[in-house]
Amino acid sequence: MTQAAPIQTATARKQVSGSQALLEAFLTEGVDTIFGYPGGAIMPIYDALYDYGDKINHILVRHEQGGIHAAQGYARSSGRPGVVFATSGPGATNLVTGLADALIDSTPVVCITGQVFAHLLGTDAFQETDVINITTPVTKWNCQVTDASEIPAAIAKAFYIAKSGRPGPVLVDITKNAQLQMFDFEGYTPCEHIRSYRPKPIVRQEYIEEAAAMINAAERPFVLFGQGVILGNAEAEFKTFIEKSGIPAAWTILGLGALPTGHPLNVGMLGMHGNYAPNVLTNQCDVLIAVGMRFDDRVTGRLDRYAKQAKIIHLDIDPAEIDKNIKADVPVWGDCKETLPLLTELVQQKSHPEWLQRFHDGDKQEYEQVIHNELNPTDPVLTMGEVIKILNELTGGDAIIVTDVGQHQMVANRYAKMNHTRSNITSGGLGTMGFALPAAIGAKMGAPERTVVAIAGDGGIQMTIQELGTIQQFGMNVKILILNNQFLGMVRQWQQLFHERRYSFVNITSPDFPKVAEAYGIPGQKVSEREHLRTALQTMLEHDGSYLLEVMTGKENNVFPMVPQGCGVAEIRLS
């Protein structure tokens, strides 16, 4: 493959095309991987990319939605922005679900879409859509470029906005004439400041002091932590804070992994299918400290029954999240990597043994009524929980787990052991079925040295199953675990519990998944008996390359505990 002639990035001018300038910007930003799908309106960029094959790895996905989910997985496992290319019209609109997913989950993604020639804008030209207005609600920032000379500044701004402050997706729509146009390129300068954009609020020392005084006076303090700890690279600072203060800490789904699951102060998962004790004791603590989480409805249940007895301290980088759902008594604005050490310095060294014991007592009750039967079933039918239990034993809690959406997601998040940060990749806020397989591809590209296991249901896997072709073409090593209960399981559970078992269109038939994988050159097998489960999981993990394992689980098994919709967190049900 022809190697691109190096383009000067100093002050010397050189005539280059807009497409070349775009790729030079990527090199300066450290981009090593792009996920994408070519088409007519983005063809000049792909033509330029032909000369950069030794510098930038391009992964040809099978659908643009797969491309953006892969970019999300890359960002979540690596901590760097994911990059995705799509053409105009349907190529661009196929990104919308992933953009919405990335926005609500604060995932930094840079999307480049091709667009028709500038003189054709607004004429309903072939494959023209108004991608700017379509994607404005689901991006942190977007813009359209119609002149090649604007490309370097637009890309610099895009990367800065995507990864600064509260991260998120951005989109740059580039017309075809701008991609082809030659201009005097004076080099690429990354953006470090945008007037009127303040990615991090000013830390106010008086709020730090108020929060510390409140924590020091508390008898039953409780910490809730979310993905903000991970996004802020503040895992060490968070661990130091809870260990000095001795406060029990529970995680949101996206916060899983910020603190090792085996840590003695980690008391489990919050929310609708979270652990019993953290949910119930939320309504018994006297001070509630929220770190990098947004009090979404799946965590709070009914707001008028949520932690009414507690003083609320809320640490967040996004001022819009503070007081949005839960009124904070002390708002601590700022990056938690900065605010946590300031708070830790002022809190007293303490332990709360009696308070912590109440969490352990709740754990015992949940274990006896729910967990024991899920992880150690006596019924011959396999449970999702026992699959995750054995997976934990075989991976040692060191794998990256990428989950789709549904019952398997809740079970995996409840029971997966994680020793390291950036180990849990899932669609949290949007709940996008079809997320797992392409996101696992991106996760593996972002962390090639780690074992990546995609866990999906029989419904979600079929939404993006074509990405097996991407795995085949690029020889990726992704482990694919399908937990098949022959239902759209989470919807069926709700229909059983709240709609008198009126199972309306949740029965789903599926192909022979191992045979589908075999058609893509990926080995696999199906397991339905307990005696073969461990060996099958071990075979999957030890195989040199991708492997698909389908496990048949109970058709009407439910995920408990559960906070029914419209109830408070203390009304959590164990059965």
Q: Any catalytic annotation for residue 235?
A: no
In sequence order, what are the beta bridge partners of 181?
A: none
Q: 481: helix, coil or strand? A: strand
Q: 516: helix, coil or strand? A: helix
What's the rounded Cα separation, in Å, for the pair 325 and 321?
Answer: 8
The answer to whether 250 and 268 have CB atoms below 8 angstroms apart is: yes
Question: What does 161-217 look like in DSSP terms, one character per residue?
Answer: HHHSSS--EEEEEEEHHHHH-EEEE--------BTTB-SSPPP-HHHHHHHHHHHHH
What's the rounded Cα separation, in Å, for the pair 416 and 261?
Answer: 8
Q: Any catalytic annotation for residue 433?
A: no
Instruction: Give the dihedral sign, CA 252/257/262/263.
Output: negative
Bridge-based pairing state of the strands 452-457 and 524-527? unpaired
What's the rounded Cα separation, in Å, for the pair 173 and 401?
Answer: 33
In sequence order, what are the beta bridge partners of 551?
A: 483, 527
Catalytic one of 140, 157, 163, 176:
176
Catalytic one of 20, 24, 29, 64:
64
In which element (H, E) is residue 244 found? helix 235-245
> Would you say how long the chain is, in residues?
575
Structure tokens at 272: 């609708």
Query: Tell me, what DSSP letter sits at residue 465?
Result: G
What's the rounded Cα separation, in Å, for the pair 487 and 397?
Answer: 29
Write phi, then psi, for 289 (nearest 5 degrees).
-110, 110
Catalytic one of 269, 463, 490, 562:
490
Q: What's the distance, CA 30 to chain centroid?
A: 21
What's the rounded Cα separation, in Å, for the pair 528 and 552?
Answer: 5
Catalytic one of 55, 117, 127, 525:
127
Q: Which amino acid is at 74?
A: Y
Bridge-based pairing state of the strands 169-175 and 109-115? parallel
Q: Any catalytic annotation for residue 176?
A: yes
Token look-up 């690596």 returns 78
Active site residues: 64, 126-127, 176, 490
